[in-house]
């Protein structure tokens, strides 16, 4: 099968690799080089870097304008595969390939349409997260799906779930293309009454507060990332929490105990134990070693 692949972040790479191993990937479309780390140097997307290693042709496009559409048409794909490309796709793209355009979405649609389905699943306390292979449609993530698979969320953080679901999405995409090719794909329209939305996380909603439960705070920590970190103020000093869990010990809401290598924060319901932190202006460290320098009566609050 001749394929045009569209994707950008690390989540897309397993799908690209799986398709390149079985099919003719005629063109890879990805977002342009950008500042992606802490430095100021431009870096290629994860998909561009891997595509070049595989010897595939790459087109960089910040949006699907006439130039990009012409390149996709010239590749004469049987199907277009989209995995976290990063911009709205025009309707003209949907009719370019005979088998259409399919997308790997990181949720069990119709739950969590949008940009942050994995993080929203963690915040909501979903027992399972998953992937859907769906047709690209005019409305965002609204197309029918032909394959779904899921994993247990448990205590995994967003990074761990993203890695796991990226591999699951790749295997489901390969299987879905086989059913497209032999005409056995069964499409399921999404139940509009069950749709939930997954907008990008904001910095404000990821702030930790003693007015919330320990379970809710722990979920925020597991869903957080560099663009929306889980932060709090401990005795007036800013602190990013990288790992934490709900603990059984009782601590008054807003109070902090640091003893025997453990740092416990009282919440409105339950207690939050810090495991790994990043004090403002400093590097990452275990909470136990960081707490060795704490003195006096301690308290915490929302930043």
Q: Map residue 265 onto helix, strand or coil.
A: strand
Q: How far is it, in rounded angstroms, from Cα 158 to Cα 129?
A: 11
* Whole-angstrom Cα Rg for the chain: 22
**DSSP code of residue 281:** T
Q: Is 210 known as a binding-site position?
A: no
**237-255 burial code (b ≥16 CB/10 A, e <16):** eebbbbbbbbbeeebebbe
Distance (Å, rounded) from C-alpha 67 to C-alpha 53? 25
Q: Is 264 annotated as a binding residue?
A: no
Evaluate whether 197 touches 112 at the Cβ level (below 8 Å).
yes
Report d(CA 154, CA 126) in Å as an integer. 9
* 110 annotated binding-site participant: yes
What is the C-alpha to C-alpha distance for residues 86 and 226, in angstroms, rounded to an integer? 18
Instruction: Check the annotation: does 109 bind a ligand.
Output: yes
Residues flagged as binding site: 107-110
Feature table: binding site for (6S)-5,6,7,8-tetrahydrofolate: 107-110
């Amino acid at each position: 099968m001749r394929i045009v692949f569209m994707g950008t972040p690390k989540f897309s790479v397993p799908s690209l690799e799986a398709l390149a191993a079985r099919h003719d990937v005629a063109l890879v479309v990805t977002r342009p080089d950008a500042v992606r780390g802490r430095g100021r140097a431009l870096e290629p997307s994860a998909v561009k870097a891997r595509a070049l290693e595989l010897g595939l042709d790459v087109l960089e496009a910040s949006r699907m304008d006439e130039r990009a559409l012409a390149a996709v048409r010239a590749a004469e794909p049987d199907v277009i595969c989209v995995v976290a490309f990063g911009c709205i796709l025009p309707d003209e793209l949907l009719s370019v390939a005979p088998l259409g355009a399919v997308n790997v979405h990181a949720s069990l649609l119709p739950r969590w349409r949008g940009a942050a389905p994995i993080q929203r699943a963690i915040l909501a306390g979903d027992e399972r997260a998953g992937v859907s292979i769906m047709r690209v449609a005019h409305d965002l993530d609204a197309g029918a799906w032909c394959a779904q698979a899921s994993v247990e969320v448990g205590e995994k953080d967003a990074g761990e779930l993203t890695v796991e679901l990226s591999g699951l999405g790749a295997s489901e995409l390969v299987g879905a293309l086989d059913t497209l090719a032999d005409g056995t794909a069964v499409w399921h329209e999404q139940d509009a009454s069950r749709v939930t939305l997954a907008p990008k996380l904001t910095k404000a909603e990821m702030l930790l507060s003693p007015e919330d439960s320990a379970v809710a705070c722990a979920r925020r920590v597991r869903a957080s990332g560099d663009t929306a970190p889980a932060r709090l103020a401990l005795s007036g000093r800013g602190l990013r929490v990288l790992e934490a869990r709900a603990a059984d010990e009782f601590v008054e809401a807003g109070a902090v105990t640091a003893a025997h290598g453990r740092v416990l924060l009282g919440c409105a319901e339950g207690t939050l134990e810090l495991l790994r932190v990043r004090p403002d202006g400093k590097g990452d460290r275990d909470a136990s070693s960081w707490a060795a320098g704490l003195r006096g009566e301690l308290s915490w609050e929302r930043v």
